[in-house]
Amino acid sequence: MDLKSKLEILADAAKYDASCASSGGAKRDSLDRKGIGSSGGSGICHSYTPDGRCVSLLKILLTNACIYDCLYCINRSSSHVRRARFSVEEVVKLTLNFYKRNYIEGLFLSSGIIKSPDYTMEELIRVARTLREDHAFRGYIHLKLIPNADPRLLEEAGRWADRVSVNIELPKADSLEKLAPRKEIGDIRRSMGHLRGVIDEQPRHKGRSFAPAGQSTQMIVGADDANDGHILTTSAALYGGYKLKRVYYSAFSPIPDASKALPLKAAPLIRENRLYQADWLMRFYGFDVAEIVSGGEAGMLSLDMDPKLAWALKHRERFPLDVNLASREELLRVPGLGVRTVDRILSSRRVRSLRGDDLARLKVPLRKVSPFIVLPDHRPTKLLDRADLQAWLKPPSTQQLDLFAA
Amino acid sequence: MPHPNPDIHRVQLAGDTDFAGFRDAARLHLRAGIPPGRVVWDTAEPGGDLFGDAPAPPLPQGEQRAPPRVSRAFLDTAQSVALHREPGRFRLIYQLLWRLCDEPRLMSVASDQDVMRFHDLAKAVRRDIHKMHAFLRFRDIYSPDGEAFVAWYEPDNHIVEAASPFFVKRFASLRWTILTPERSAHWTGDELLFGPGANRRQSPQGDPLEELWRSYYANIFNPARLNTDAMRAEMPKRFWKNLPEAALIPDLVAGAAARTAAMIEAAPTFPVHRRGAELPEPADAAAADAQGLPAIAAAAKACRACPLWEQATQTVPGEGPETARLMVVGEQPGDLEDIAGRPFVGPAGRIFDQALAQAGVGREGAYVTNAVKHFKFEPRGKRRIHKRPAAGEIHACLPWLEREVATVDPEVIVMLGASAAQAVLGRAVAVTRERGQPFRLPDGRWGVIATHPSYILRLQTEPEKDAAFAALVSDLKTAADLIGPSPGSPA
């Protein structure tokens, strides 16, 4: 099989992994002229595909052959997809050639399990080690870890990679048992715990050498019956327990040659979007899972509106808030005010009292915030009492770009 | 050339990005008290000899002003603003400096029109630089003396000089050239040189690697998630003409719906038959089968007798010699125990070890375990906050503790804290009242209740801590003294 065909198969097989982040890597450059590449700081998206996703890394599998039979996975052993396998050298050359042309920030390498978890992990490590040692590659490397590989191999992977990730796969442990019979939640959690242990023990002052961009994970949404409450509870426990940098949510999307045990229809992408918004509320806005879920019904977030607005509509007694007096924590709970805007408000109001046109200049969506705030020139007269507030907040689509002026 | 209006001061800058020139002139004009409306900032490259007819410094007009002190952040932002293509950019910076003389806190007012505009322009420039780092594509010209790369790029603003050091850091070991309509940058391998602009025809028209790159782009795209708005928000169409992969976009978009429909319509294949998920075994059945501590630990790994297993990392079994005559029961593993898979290794564990040593018992002489073997917590941001186990969870975990007691067969059991005492005694216990007094357990062993070391950690003042620690040492000593002479030693 030629390189192009392999690339087609092994990129296609990798596209169900949501992450393509290249941020947080160690600060490196190649000013010493000995190698190639640089990293550090925020990541770069070198392109975008028509699904709106960023292309930052060469995201491929080493092979899509797999001895496991996880039902949600296109590469499961019982699937009829074409199989291919890159050699270590091929991945190394492809990465360097793409990198020199400024197509990518680096490599995100994953693999189906072949022979054994340890063998597979060793092959992935070989690619990363060859890039780092033989070619002095200073770009970004993200390695997917195989949960039940030997802990020593997990540690070696973290020495070459900027980021490592173990996929939690599904939000509920019993779904994992049903859909991925050979994956053990215990193995997955122990691997994450082990990585956190190693990351914690690194001396802070010397600059991190072990997985400087930390660890992340991915959860498939909509392949089992877990509701959004389950999903967010699991995420909160993962963030708290293993100091994950990110939990990625991937709406289950139909795969060629799907298994009968799975829903055939894609989970709505908007559900995935709502989960990301909720995840943000947990990490940056001081919300806890129960509060976020209270905005929806029966453990599910509202699909019609973002979770902060949904929460606020059910907690109208906490509004309206005076923009010139409310605390940072309170302002962060106003629908339509983001972290940056809130910080700008706080900095501006120290000098002068803010009015409606100040908020307009700060690009605040006025219609959305208006029922929830008080300004010297604005009082939400009984807006909060309206039963149809949700409908009122949604402007007709033709006016969406209009700034509310009243 | 003198300006027809004598009230207008024309400042000739040495090109589009001459921030240093702007700074000097701004200082002079502020000192002379010349208001923003009377200064014209000319960035057109001067035709004649720039230094031949340097304009005389402006004569003072009205009130003279001391140039305001500005922060490093202001200067950085101003330098970015200076790179914007907007002709009024230098006037805007001068206007801000002028206003800062009267309003020293102006820059805090993020909603001020000038401040806003200043930040917007800087942001546009930073974004333009970022997009250049992202969307520039090098092509190998396959020169006979090794790899050499050339790129053609069309930035929106005057950013070639500002964006190039990034490529030096990344590709210092290569030779490369960046051509743009306005400027060009050339890295010789040792030195970064800038030259005049070029046109697209001077750049290479392709690179064989682009075919592989297009294959990758087409296949990493998921047609089931088509979202062209999101793509165009980040990669507007004006960039497409210089991106080798963008030529594929129309066909990928057109074919997406059909490909998704085909996947959904394709008959699903039947999964291999598999037996249904087994019901979790109750802890007592699993525990009863386990003989010896390693077998108990192994069986406890799979325990799902209560819901705590689901969010915890692992079961944390007891630790210590099977022949220990002293057994210490704690409450439950904490954050660090959960990660390490071993009991009493966190902050409370360190206190415990100190107390045990001061009581004259080594950790190696005792079997140490917990009433509940999974960590119970509540996530809060990046941490997990310990939560006390409920009576039901203590009860569900009891079979494991009972197997440990039966296997180790200790003479004395120390219960650290209320949960441990509840597990061993089956009733609620007031630790402060009942601690330190040995009593016989129903099976004839000695029991001693003591405070949990984490209680000591939570106390506020040093004297309180010292007293509680001393009590713990004394209770452990009481327990140790209850151990009879070992069978081999003289009575």
Q: For residue range A229-252, what is the model confidence (pLDDT) as tens digits? A: 999 999 999 999 999 999 999 888
User: Is B126's pLDDT higher than 80?
Assistant: yes
Nearest to B134 among A44, A196, A251 (CB): A44
Q: B382 or A135: whose pLDDT is higher?
A: A135
Would you say A9 and A83 are in contact if contact means Cβ atoms under 8 Å apart? Answer: yes
3-state secondary structure (DSSP) of residue B443: coil
pTM given for the model = 0.86
Under the banding of pLDDT at 50, 70 and 90, the label for residue B278 is very low
- Number of Cβ within 10 Å of residue A326's Cβ equals 21
The predicted structure's pLDDT at residue A393:
77
Split at pLDDT 50, 70, 90, the class of B280 is very low
Least confident of A61-70, A156-165, A381-390, B57-66: B57-66
The answer on pLDDT for A162 being more than 60 is yes
DSSP annotation of B51 reads T
What per-residue confidence (pLDDT) applies to A404? Answer: 36
Chain B contact set for A361 (CB, 8 A):
111-113, 116
Compute the residue count for chain B: 491
The residue behind tokens 């509920």 is A172
Average pLDDT, chain A: 90
> What is the pLDDT, as a whole number, of residue A208?
61
Q: B439: which residues sit within 8 A by CB, 6+ positions away?
A: B446, B447, B448
**Domain ranges, ordered by start, for chain B:** 9-129, 136-202, 209-260, 283-482
* pLDDT at site A403: 35
Would the pLDDT of B253 be above 60? yes
Chain B residues in contact with A359 by the CB 8 A cut-off are 111
Please, are residues A64 and A9 in contact by the beta-carbon 8 Å criterion?
yes
pLDDT for A79-120, tens place per residue?
A: 888 999 999 999 999 999 999 999 999 999 999 999 899 999
Beta-sheet pairing, A140-144 with A163-165: parallel
Say whether pLDDT at A34 is over 70.
yes
Whole-Å CA distances, B472 to B333, B433, B435, B468, B477? 19, 14, 9, 6, 8
Q: Per-residue pLDDT tens for B283-340?
A: 666 777 778 899 999 999 889 889 899 889 999 999 999 999 999 999 999 999 999 9
Could you tell me the two tokens for A4? 């192009």
The answer to whether the CB atoms of A241 and B221 lie below 8 A apart is: no
Rounded Cα–Cα distance for residues A391 and B441 (Å): 67
State what percent of residues in chain A have pLDDT above 70: 93
Q: Supply the mean pLDDT for chain B.
A: 89
pLDDT band with cut points at 50, 70 and 90 for residue A321: very high
Indicate if the pLDDT at residue A23 is higher than 90: no
Q: Where are the domains of chain A?
A: 3-267, 318-399
ipTM: 0.91
Per-residue confidence band for A200, with pLDDT thresholds at 50, 70 and 90: confident
Q: What is the pLDDT of residue B269?
A: 53
The percent of residues above 90 in pLDDT, for chain A, comes to 69
Give pairs for B437-441: CB < 8 Å, separation 24+: B438/B478, B438/B479, B438/B482, B441/B413
Q: What is the pLDDT of residue A78?
A: 85
Q: What is the pLDDT of residues B77-104, one digit of tens each?
A: 999 999 999 999 999 999 999 999 999 9
- The more confident residue out of A260 and B269 is A260
Per-residue b/e over A257-278, b at no fewer than 16 CB within 10 Å?
A: ebbeebeeebbebebbebbbbb
The token duo for A92 is 């190394």
A117 close to A68: Cβ distance less than 8 angstroms: no
Interface-testing mutation among A30, A48, A137, A337, with chain B (most B C-beta atoms within 10 A): A48
Chain B closest CA to A269's CA: distance in Å? 7
Mutation test of the interface with chain A: which of B141, B212, B225, B281, choosing the one with the most A Cβ atoms within 10 A?
B225
pLDDT bin (cut points 50, 70, 90) of residue B272 is: very low
Which residue in the set B138, B168, B253 is minimally distant from A101, CB to CB?
Answer: B138
Angle of the A185-201 helix axis to the A151-160 helix axis, nearest 10: 50
**Nearest-CA distance from A350 to chain B in Å?**
8
Apex B335 CA angle, A157 and B287, nearest 5: 95
pLDDT at A264: 62
Rounded average pLDDT over A196-206 = 79
The alpha helices in B54-112, defined as continuous H runs, are 72-81, 89-102
Strand B377-380 versus strand B383-386 pairing type: antiparallel
B window 309-338, beta carbon within 8 A of A: 309-314, 335, 338
Tens-digit pLDDT profile for residues A166-187: 999 999 988 898 888 888 888 9
Instruction: State the smallest CA–CA distance between residue A58 and chain B in angstroms.
Output: 8
Q: Which of A142-146, A334-338, B212-216, B358-362 has the lowest mean pLDDT?
A: B358-362
Chain A residues within 8 A of B335 when measuring between CB atoms: 241
Q: How far is A366 from chain B (nearest CA, A)?
A: 14
Choose, out of B213, B342, B377, B387, the residue to mutate when testing the contact with A (most A CBs < 10 Å): B213
> Within a 13 Å sphere around the CA of B106, how many CA atoms are in the beta-carbon half?
23
Q: What is the mean pLDDT of residues B52-67?
A: 66
On the question of pLDDT at B147 being above 90, the answer is no
Q: How crowded is residue B365: how many other Cβ atoms within 10 Å of its Cβ? A: 16
Torsion B72-B77-B79-B80 (CA) sign: positive
pLDDT of residue B93: 97
Helices (H) and strands (E) in chain B, counts: 17, 14
Give CA angle at B171 (A210, A156), nearest 5°. 20
Residue A126 has pLDDT above 50, yes or no: yes
Q: What is the CA radius of gyration of chain A?
A: 24
Name residue, tokens 């960039």.
B239
- E strand or H helix at B213: helix B209-220
Inter-chain CB proximity A264 and B268 less than 8 Å = yes
Nearest chain A Cα distance for residue B149, angstroms: 8
Residue B61 confidence (pLDDT): 67
What secondary structure letter does DSSP report for B25? H
B108 and A348 in contact by Cβ < 8 A? yes
DSSP assignment of B65-79 equals -PPPP--HHHHHHHH
Contact flag B271-A348 (C-beta cutoff 8 Å): no
- Three-state SS letters, chain A: CCHHHHHHHHHHCCCCCCCCCCCCCCCECCCCCCCECCECCCCCCCEECCCCCEECEEEEECECCCCCCCCCCCCCCCCCCCCCECCHHHHHHHHHHHHHCCCCCEEEEECCCCCCHHHHHHHHHHHHHHHHHHCCECCEEEEECCCCCCHHHHHHHHHHCCEEECCCECCCHHHHHHHCCCCCHHHHHHHHHHHHHHHHHCCCCCCCCCCCCCEEEEEEECCCCCCHHHHHHHHHHHHHHHCCCEEEEEECCCCCCCECCCCCCCCCHHHHHHHHHHHHHHHHCCCCHHHHHHCCECCECCCCCCHHHHHHHHCHHHCCEECCCCCHHHHCCCCCCCHHHHHHHHHHHCCCCCCHHHHHHCCCCHHHHHHHEEECCECCCCHHHCCCHHHHHCCCHHHCCCCCCC
Domain A3-267, CATH class in plain words: alpha beta
CATH number corresponding to B283-482: 3.40.470.10
Distance from CA of A327 to the nearest CA of B (A): 18
What single-letter amino acid sits at B26? A
Beta-bridged to residue A374, according to DSSP, are A322
Q: What is the predicted pLDDT for the residue at A400? A: 37
Read off the pLDDT of each residue in B22-27 and give the average, rounded to a whole number. 94
- Please give, rounded to a whole number of angstroms, the shortest distance from the CA of A333 to a CA of chain B: 17
A-chain residue closest to B189, CA distance: A33
Chain B residues lying within 8 Å of A262, measured CB to CB: 268
The angle that helices B89-102 and B19-31 make with each other, rounded to 10 degrees, is 40
Cβ–Cβ contact B133 with A under 8 A = yes
Percent of chain B with pLDDT over 90: 73
Listed range (A219-233, B55-69, B121-135, B234-248) with the worst mean pLDDT: B55-69
Question: Hey, what's the torsion of the CAs at A334, A340, A343, A349, to 10 degrees?
Answer: -80
By three-state DSSP, how is residue B220 classified? Answer: helix
pLDDT one-digit tens code per residue, A259-311: 777 766 667 889 999 999 999 999 999 999 999 999 999 999 999 999 999 99
Interface test with B, best of A39, A46, A49 (most B CBs within 10 A): A49
Q: Are strands A246-251 and A215-221 parallel, antiparallel or unpaired?
A: parallel
Contact assessment for residue A342 and residue A332, using Cβ atoms and an 8 Å cutoff: yes
B277 to A103: CB separation less than 8 angstroms, yes or no: no
Count CB atoms within 10 A of the CB of residue B152. Answer: 24
8 Å CB contact of A259 and B271: yes
Q: Does B471 touch chain A (CB under 8 A)?
A: no
